[in-house]
Amino acid sequence: MINVIELFAGVGGFRIGLEAAGGFDVVWGNQWEPSKKAQHAFDCYARRFEGQGEHSNEDISKVDGETFKNEDIDMIVGGFPCQDYSVARSLNGEKGLQGKKGVLFWEITRLMRETSPKYVLLENVDRLLKSPSKQRGRDFSIMLASFRDLGYSVEWRVINAAEYGQAQRRRRVFIFATKNETPYVDNRRGFDETQMIHGEGFFAKAFPVKEGISEKKKPQSFIMKKDLVEISDEFSMSYYNAGIMRDDLVYTEEVTPLEDSPTPLKDILQSDVDEKYYLSEAAIEKFTYLKGPKRIERTSATGHKYTFSEGGMAFPEALDKPGRTMLTSEGTVNRSTHVVEDPQTKRLRILTPVECERLNGFPDDWTEGMTDRMRYFCMGNALVVGLIERMGKRVSQIEQENIDGNQVELDLVFSETDGQ
């Protein structure tokens, strides 16, 4: 079994995916929503995984590393917030570096130092690769350099779930780090970076891409600076949707997925839907405006006049296509909410909470027990479980390689429900 710590667990998407892959034991999971009295996500997590490992509902910065001293932690996973990762020297220079307080990425690196896992698998919004806007790529560069300093190699890929058979066009960056002294890393020293991204690396096996190099976005490589403060103060970089860092060498390339057929919206819709999800005439009128094209003259705070414009959206949604990216505001009257024509009644309605769970690959009624508003919110924050299942199978393959010491040539076998 691969022993796992799950951070920023939400309602357990990482755990569901890893358990579906098999061979993983989530021994400790943490979910805490600051400034909230009601801990809906944690309550759901604790209820669904009752009696399975320890469940922590506390500020991760207050979790002592001694918590894991008797645990053999193999892997850390988590979907962490995109924050400001800038660092500076402490007032007393020899005390080292200090990052901004409350930045949760530093808690990940702290737990990595204290548990020394073989693997780290993280998820974030894809804009992480370009943040902040005034110093593009700085934050991701700080992350890469931090992993390097801890003795890890890193691979990353931006994945659109619908391009690999899922029901939602949800783009997220996934980051896989593994210890340098493992057979997995050593066995691939003879492969160059392009070979890693296209065939031999972590993501290449589970999420294949087309051969060939982008003509518009030429691959880039560079040696990562040693000084984290210098990176924070001065460094910028345009990262593409795939890449790898081994030792100090960073390579990034724009890849094109070898797509699977996505799951269309019609396949995740329920029948006999409750009347409360159907739209009133007033709501239809409001949605028609919100989703329609607009050109509106506005005046800025400084008195400058400008024209705000946005294109129209499909209204209702096309049922033969996968859903759009689901946000935490799903289910409210706003531009991003999905509106469908119910196949049975031919009337317009919003998606039900169960349908939103299906968009992310969760079991039906996983979030039952909280209000509909919170169910939508939790699913808007969640990840697509089917992607994690694929990654879990890939980690298991690498674990076997690390145990045997030899590169394994097993093909990943995905279940027929991977695209559901």
Closest CA to 162 of 316, 291, 320, 9: 320
169 in a structural domain = yes
Same domain for 251 and 312?
A: no
Same domain for 363 and 250?
A: no
Q: For residue 98, what are the β-bridge partners?
A: 88
222 in a structural domain = yes
Mean pLDDT confidence for 75-94: 78
Give the CA angle between residues 97, 103, 107 to the nearest 5°: 80
Same domain for 253 and 279?
A: no
**55 SS3 class:** strand
410 in a structural domain = no
- Structure confidence by residue, pLDDT tens digits, 331-381: 999 999 999 999 999 999 999 999 999 999 999 999 999 999 999 999 999
238 in a structural domain = yes
Residue 417: the pLDDT is: 45
Q: Give the whole-angstrom CA distance, residue 328 versus residue 369.
A: 18
Same domain for 112 and 140?
A: yes
Same domain for 316 and 241?
A: no
- Structure confidence by residue, pLDDT tens digits, 238-276: 999 999 999 999 999 999 999 999 999 999 999 999 999
418 in a structural domain = no
Q: Give the whole-angstrom CA distance, residue 315 versus residue 166.
A: 22
316 in a structural domain = yes
Residue 412: the pLDDT is: 52
Q: Pairing relation of β-strands 97-99 and 87-89?
A: antiparallel
Same domain for 159 and 288?
A: no
Evaluate if pTM is beyond 0.75: yes
Same domain for 312 and 202?
A: no
Q: What is the CATH number of the domain that holds 375?
A: 3.90.120.10
Closest CA to 121 of 169, 163, 176, 71: 176
44 catalytic residue (yes or no): no
Q: Pseudo-torsion of CA 250, 255, 260, 265, nearest 10°?
A: 90
Give percent of the chain above pLDDT 90. 81
19 in a structural domain = yes
Residue 34: the pLDDT is: 87
Same domain for 53 and 191?
A: yes
420 in a structural domain = no
Same domain for 312 and 363?
A: yes
Give phi and psi for 181, each to the nearest 5: -90, 20
Residues of the domain holding 377: 265-381
Closest CA to 336 of 173, 172, 169: 169
Same domain for 234 and 281?
A: no
Mean pLDDT confidence for 97-109: 78
Cβ atoms within 10 Å, residue 141 = 25
- Structure confidence by residue, pLDDT tens digits, 309-337: 889 999 999 999 999 999 999 999 999 99
Domains in the chain: how many in total?
Answer: 2
Same domain for 63 and 208?
A: yes
Q: What is the CATH number of the domain that holds 92?
A: 3.40.50.150
Split at pLDDT 50, 70, 90, the class of 415 is: very low
Same domain for 256 and 318?
A: no
